[in-house]
Amino acid sequence: MRTTLTIDDDVAAQLDRLRREREQSLKDIVNETLRRGLHDMHARARRCKPFRTAGHDMGPFLVNIDNVAEALVAAEGEDFK
Protein backbone atom coordinates (compact mmCIF):
# COMPACT_ATOMS: atom_id res chain seq x y z
CA MET A 1 0.00 0.00 0.00
CA ARG A 2 1.27 3.42 -0.85
CA THR A 3 0.28 6.45 1.24
CA THR A 4 1.59 9.80 2.40
CA LEU A 5 2.19 10.44 6.09
CA THR A 6 3.05 13.62 7.92
CA ILE A 7 5.43 12.63 10.70
CA ASP A 8 6.25 14.93 13.61
CA ASP A 9 9.85 16.13 13.78
CA ASP A 10 10.68 14.28 17.01
CA VAL A 11 9.32 10.99 15.62
CA ALA A 12 11.15 11.48 12.32
CA ALA A 13 14.41 12.05 14.21
CA GLN A 14 13.96 8.82 16.17
CA LEU A 15 13.12 6.87 13.02
CA ASP A 16 16.16 8.29 11.25
CA ARG A 17 18.38 7.41 14.22
CA LEU A 18 17.07 3.82 14.17
CA ARG A 19 17.51 3.63 10.40
CA ARG A 20 21.17 4.61 10.68
CA GLU A 21 21.87 2.31 13.66
CA ARG A 22 20.31 -0.74 12.00
CA GLU A 23 21.33 0.16 8.45
CA GLN A 24 17.80 -0.55 7.20
CA SER A 25 15.48 1.34 4.91
CA LEU A 26 13.03 3.88 6.31
CA LYS A 27 10.19 1.72 4.97
CA ASP A 28 11.36 -1.30 7.00
CA ILE A 29 11.84 0.75 10.17
CA VAL A 30 8.41 2.41 9.89
CA ASN A 31 6.67 -0.91 9.23
CA GLU A 32 8.37 -2.63 12.17
CA THR A 33 7.58 0.30 14.46
CA LEU A 34 3.92 0.33 13.41
CA ARG A 35 3.62 -3.46 13.85
CA ARG A 36 5.06 -3.29 17.37
CA GLY A 37 2.90 -0.30 18.29
CA LEU A 38 -0.26 -1.93 16.97
CA HIS A 39 0.55 -5.13 18.83
CA ASP A 40 1.08 -3.21 22.07
CA MET A 41 -2.16 -1.27 21.59
CA HIS A 42 -4.15 -4.50 21.19
CA ALA A 43 -2.46 -6.26 24.10
CA ARG A 44 -4.23 -6.31 27.43
CA ALA A 45 -3.00 -3.83 29.96
CA ARG A 46 -0.91 -5.40 32.69
CA ARG A 47 -2.53 -5.32 36.08
CA CYS A 48 -0.57 -3.40 38.64
CA LYS A 49 -0.34 -4.58 42.20
CA PRO A 50 -2.76 -2.45 44.28
CA PHE A 51 -1.10 0.20 46.41
CA ARG A 52 -1.85 -0.31 50.08
CA THR A 53 -1.13 1.85 53.10
CA ALA A 54 -1.17 0.76 56.68
CA GLY A 55 -3.83 2.25 58.92
CA HIS A 56 -3.18 3.67 62.35
CA ASP A 57 -5.68 4.13 65.14
CA MET A 58 -5.49 7.74 66.29
CA GLY A 59 -8.17 7.43 68.93
CA PRO A 60 -11.59 9.04 69.02
CA PHE A 61 -12.35 12.32 67.22
CA LEU A 62 -12.03 15.35 69.43
CA VAL A 63 -14.50 17.37 67.35
CA ASN A 64 -17.28 16.56 64.93
CA ILE A 65 -15.63 16.85 61.51
CA ASP A 66 -19.03 17.10 59.81
CA ASN A 67 -19.05 20.74 60.95
CA VAL A 68 -16.11 22.25 59.05
CA ALA A 69 -16.19 25.57 60.87
CA GLU A 70 -16.07 23.85 64.27
CA ALA A 71 -13.22 21.60 63.14
CA LEU A 72 -11.22 24.61 61.89
CA VAL A 73 -11.77 26.49 65.14
CA ALA A 74 -10.55 23.46 67.10
CA ALA A 75 -7.50 22.99 64.83
CA GLU A 76 -6.47 26.59 64.15
CA GLY A 77 -8.22 28.75 66.70
CA GLU A 78 -10.79 31.49 66.25
CA ASP A 79 -8.68 33.44 63.73
CA PHE A 80 -8.93 30.83 60.94
CA LYS A 81 -11.21 33.04 58.81
Amino acid symbol at 57: D
* pLDDT value, residue 67: 84
The pLDDT tens digits for 47-68 are 888 999 998 887 777 777 788 8
Does this model's pTM top 0.75? My answer is no
For all residues of the chain together, what is the average pLDDT?
87
Residue 34 to residue 38: CA distance in whole angstroms: 6
Q: Domain boundaries in the chain?
A: 9-42
